[in-house]
Amino acid sequence: MGKKSNVAIAIAAAAGAAWASTKALSKPTGRPSKEALKYDHPIILAHRGGAALAPEGSMAAFENAAKLGVHGFEIDLRLTKDEEIIVFHDETLERVTDFTGKVSDYTLSELKAADLGYYFKDLSDAYSFRGTGEQVLTLGELLDAYPQMLINMDIKDNPETYEGSLMPSKLWRLIEEKQAFDRVVVTSFFDEQIDRFNLYAQNTVTLGAGEKEVKKAYTAYTSQFRHLYHPRSDVFQLPLKARMVSLDSPGFIKFLSTLNIPVHYWSINDPVVMKKLIQNGAKGIITDRPDLAIDALKLD
């Protein structure tokens, strides 16, 4: 046997020993159950209220989705100039309103004058909500209007901005004021925002997974060291792919489910894909077309 073969055998043996030792020392534990995630069938969350059917983040969208029978909403959060939390996705206002500039440049009262349906086209390609009075909503208004709904909220403000630095504490105080601990999920693409929020919440609120947490979980899943993954999130909201990596495999979903972590996928508007994801083990569909989702996921 040559020298190279001996080296290869030694490396393999060392790797095997490392795996065995970590396996013995590290025992993965699942996340504790959270009240917000206690449902016995797949759920439908209307993305921004159902953004293909009415202006995103508008009361018209939420009312329509609620009437259709969704289980909750997936929304985005921004902080205004006067430090009010509003339901809004973009950093700037141009895409969906008749205003220009950043959300953080305006007070809430100023933003209430914006036409939230200014650029919305309905399924007939008509500007059906322009000038109908749809306004920016605060998170408090949404929580008050739908106490029965699960609301998945995504912190959009970057933690390095002034607004982002304030958002975690502001959000915690509002959830505490509304006593909404068991009917919300707090998440962000920025893992730091989730961590900052949890400094206040102390795991009393259901937490989603940021980009780094998703990467950590998937890396563990595709390695021999799955047992080293210790989750910090209660639920994963995932796209079908991220950087050309498929995140919708039954194996990955099962890996997370063994840790008591349900998986919701966004933004899924194809009924065929919805059904396939549920068959693969997904527990929730986040969609712009709640009308299609309600029909596709009817329980037998």
Active site residues: 47, 89
Helices and strands, number each (H, E), in the chain = 10, 11
Query: Burial level of 273, CB count in 10 A (0-12/13-18/19+)?
Result: middle
Amino acid, res. 248: D
Going by DSSP bridges, is the β-strand pair 206-207/184-187 parallel, antiparallel, or unpaired? parallel
Residue partners of 126: CB distance under 8 A and separation at least 6: none
Are 279 and 260 in contact, with CB atoms under 8 Å apart?
no
Rounded-to-integer distance, Cα 209 and Cα 236, Å:
5
Give 51: exposed, middle or buried? Use CB within 10 Å, 0-12, 13-18, 19+: buried
